Structure 1
């Protein structure tokens, strides 16, 4: 049966052992593409037929290298100093948990050590994100979106089915499918690690978030944080809070903003978020179709290969060799199409997905500001009523001054955050879409070259 512990290990997450045209999901800085590691020698060990399915070992240890270079995205940095550098130098998958080794190097006096490494799990990243969103002092900032929960269910299900169907496969078929699924698993694993790292680097680059107490505890405390997930009551409370916010947004949507800049930004962000989310869903469909094309090429290759074996066995050796070569062509087309689909997902779909979530965070910021504006206008009306009645004037003036201060503070911060988001977003899309088109051209040339060489080779055999 399938190995009881589906472990995958990435030591120095930026291994550079294979494909030159595979990328970090949000590589926005023009550094060399980040590869997907190949399965370890252990996972490629000699296959021995048996009556029971063979355990599939997902452990992989790419060569160690300095993962603390070429990691921070230039357009994400809100300051230019390097006195706080954070990266995920190692990661280990154990069944439904992933343990991330977070490495921090700093010259900031607030930290007890200049360099420290701690092990964190996904729930602790969520705890850190929740702490930021719940802190009223950060109401004027765009909170970086939390990293998505690791999801390896699809890969594990495929591996389980492969293990169960081992007895019906040939040695070569099993080894080929096993290696492909291991690479798919490791690619998903690596992308998950990258998304968690991007979240931390966004915080480390921000001049305010980097000083957050919880963030410093997250980076420095070398034992487990022992944070727990939200219980049912808290989950319901969070859902109710979100529902209340949605209803409040509807009520505030008709309110005219006193600042033309924010009125334009509100209309733009709402429409932008709708378009980018729709584009992301369509890009995901295209990537799925590309994977289906690759899988279909693989099935054609397998069937043509079997056909060639039948022809060879019946005495048609020349025709059998011809079919074998055709099968190889489809196998190579499968790999090219798979690479094309992977690049499209990393450079297009994942970029859209990230900024879809960040635009949602920008919408939350605009909502918080509109709520402050509504509170300020309400405080003004209360002050007018208090003066008319000549009662509780001092309290009304205090409330009005407090509401005014909060509104002015959040407006000042929100304006700079929205302008920074626009610069970051434009730079990211320019780079990633350019990379995407370059890769499409490269893959098209590869396909043409492959087919031309095949045609020339087949003509020589005639």
Structure 2
């Protein structure tokens, strides 16, 4: 399946994820995106009055691997060790939607034409929603870099935005992926060693509080994300389960010739409206809640990585102090030990100063985003709660509606077609 230009523009949730406070001297957005099987090509458009750029408005085409390259370049740069690096956008994954569409096309003949059309429409809408979120995640990554007073001045960022040709960036192979996995294990072990066996004590109550908070916060937001996904999938499954019920009632309405015909058709209309309503509820919860929780789960991990780098700098500073004491005791290599101790001290103080400001910005950004998204979600839920089914049903239709709703509730509670 191919998604044509501008498919990712409508309803992009980038602004809903983060509240950015950048100036207008550098504005970045993804103006276009095209899906070509396993690849998505993003058109990155830049407007800037900065003297570094040769033009005030220009655009380039980038792929996901080039976004990952840019993120890794920031992480590996020592100059940004005291900053929260915006989390890398997730890799585009449309395989699940493609497989569902393929299975639907190869489905059995028991599915009616009406059911097939509705299921196909639902799957295409799901594919488009995933595509829009993919575009939004890549856009918000660039916008956070452009809004940051330090990260926006990076040379690699300028190259990413301005260089009109392919950056010749390849995806990571298995060896590189395994190396990254092992580095994460080593980092976790090193952090546990620093805080545990070495007995290193935090010298600043602010960072001690932030570290304790972020450890708990990351765990809680990860659990909340899993629960929100479960609720969203339940609404989605319920909407899917209404399709065969509505189709069956519609079929009965076309076959019956007595007074029940009108009742069956009205019931089919009722369940079709309920299907659309449940689908909108699932979409709103996915966009306003699940996506936000998933993003800040990655962003809180980036904040934890910042605290680890500062803790590592503190441990290096303490080790440099011990090495200097030993050198003075033995009266050997005192000058190199003093130079190393000063460098470690300067690095630790530099990281502490920038990290404190970054963590305060992270808090204000997080609180503002949660307030905005939760208010909008509550307003949407109130709007959906006010939607009422047609009131022109005859008494027989209302009776059958109550019976069918009870049956559907029981079936859905015990799982339908393998759904949890």
Summarize deviations over 1:151-190 as a string: whole Å, max 9, x none.
1111111111222238655544433332222222111111
- Listed as ranges, the matches of 1:401-416 within 5 Å are 401-416=342-357
Partner of 2:248: 303
Whole-angstrom distance in 2 between the partners of 1:295 and 1:229: 36
Match of 1:11 among 2, 6, 13: 6
1:85 is aligned to 2:30: no
Summarize deviations over 1:319-354 as a string: whole Å, max 9, x none.
122101101100110000100111011111111111
1:28 is aligned to 2:22: no
SS at match of 2:229: helix
Match of 1:219 among 140, 156, 161: 161
1:166–1:174 contact (8 Å) kept in structure 2: no
Structure with a larger share of its residues in helix: 2
Following superposition, the deviation at residue 299 of structure 1 comes to 2.2
Summarize deviations over 1:283-306 as a string: whole Å, max 9, x none.
111111111111112222122222
Give the unaligned 5+ runs of structure 1.
1-5, 16-22, 30-72
Match of 1:388 among 305, 309, 329: 329
1:147–1:199 contact (8 Å) kept in structure 2: yes
Partner of 1:361: 302
- Listed as ranges, the matches of 1:39-78 within 5 Å are 75-77=19-21
Residues 166, 187 of structure 1: CA spacing in aligned structure 2 closer, same or farther, 3 A cutoff? farther
Following superposition, the deviation at residue 10 of structure 1 comes to 3.4
- Listed as ranges, the matches of 1:194-213 within 5 Å are 194-213=136-155
1:178 is aligned to 2:120: yes
Aligned residues: 395
Partner of 1:425: 366
Whole-angstrom distance in 1 between the partners of 2:341 and 2:261: 88
SS at match of 2:393: helix
Match of 1:293 among 222, 226, 238: 238
Following superposition, the deviation at residue 252 of structure 1 comes to 2.1
Could you tell me the TM-score, scaled by structure 1's length?
0.82
For the aligned residue pairs, the C-alpha RMSD in angstroms reads: 1.8
Following superposition, the deviation at residue 308 of structure 1 comes to 2.6
Whole-angstrom distance in 1 between the partners of 2:300 and 2:246: 43
Following superposition, the deviation at residue 396 of structure 1 comes to 0.1
SS at match of 2:27: strand
Match of 1:269 among 185, 203, 214: 214
Summarize deviations over 1:259-293 as a string: whole Å, max 9, x none.
11101111011111111111111111111111111
SS at match of 1:223: coil
2:7–2:132 contact (8 Å) kept in structure 1: no
Summarize deviations over 1:343-397 as a string: whole Å, max 9, x none.
0111111111111110000000000000000000000000000000000000000
Following superposition, the deviation at residue 230 of structure 1 comes to 2.3
Whole-angstrom distance in 1 between the partners of 2:76 and 2:397: 71
Partner of 2:401: none
Give the unaligned 5+ runs of structure 2.
399-420
